[in-house]
Chains A and B, each alone.
Chain A
């Protein structure tokens, strides 16, 4: 699943470690989500959406629709 996490993070000048700390996950998890290696769970996707104050569908694109 594609996502805009890296762009959103870069816009805020956050490091992966900083974003990981804000999301309560590991830096490896943030890296895996950014590179599309791992699709986040629904609770984590909501946490990401809340953190960036954006709807989930503007951050994640399932390429199905």
Chain B
């Protein structure tokens, strides 16, 4: 194998795993802070860690295949959450049962779609991004735990 001076060392590879756990913890803290005290800017570093771990999962060409397989599961969960959210909006807009003909003729005539009466948080891009990041870390952790459980069962 040709010598590559920029080849990742064992420490570099281990750091990627460690960064992902720190990123997951930071994302949980930032999401909790958003729900409990949305006006606070106390966890800027936490957000940085969260962003770093997400970028690390995407720019993972120097990581090994096990790390990439864990990240791939996280990405699947994140996309799954986005799909579930969009599907819920689709269902609400398509099969909106809150609207009745009376509202259209007697009231203002402005259709009140259930998708538009959701809590503001569910229309907040920052919250949805945090939820997607949480889904990613949950998927990553689930792949890690599932592999461990399967290994225990085989042993």
Contacts and interface: CB of A to CB of B under 8 A. Distances in A.
B80 to A, nearest CB: 21
A35 B14 contact: no
B150 interface: yes
A18 B133 CA distance: 34
A28 B154 contact: no
A2 B14 CA distance: 24
A28 B10 contact: no
A37 interface: yes
B111 interface: no
Interface residues of A, number: 19
B64 interface: yes
A7 interface: no
A37 B67 CA distance: 12
Contacts, number: 54
A13 B66 CA distance: 24
A28 B17 contact: yes
Contacts of B65: 25, 29, 38, 40-41, 44
Nearest to B12: A26
Interface string A26-55: 111100110111101100100000000000
Contact of A26 (B1, B10, B150): B10
Contact of A36 (B7, B14, B151): B151
30 contacts: A2-B154, A17-B10, A21-B10, A25-B13, A26-B10, A26-B13, A26-B14, A26-B17, A26-B63, A26-B64, A26-B66, A26-B67, A27-B13, A27-B14, A28-B66, A29-B13, A29-B64, A32-B66, A35-B148, A35-B155, A36-B150, A36-B154, A37-B147, A37-B148, A37-B150, A37-B151, A38-B66, A38-B147, A40-B65, A41-B65
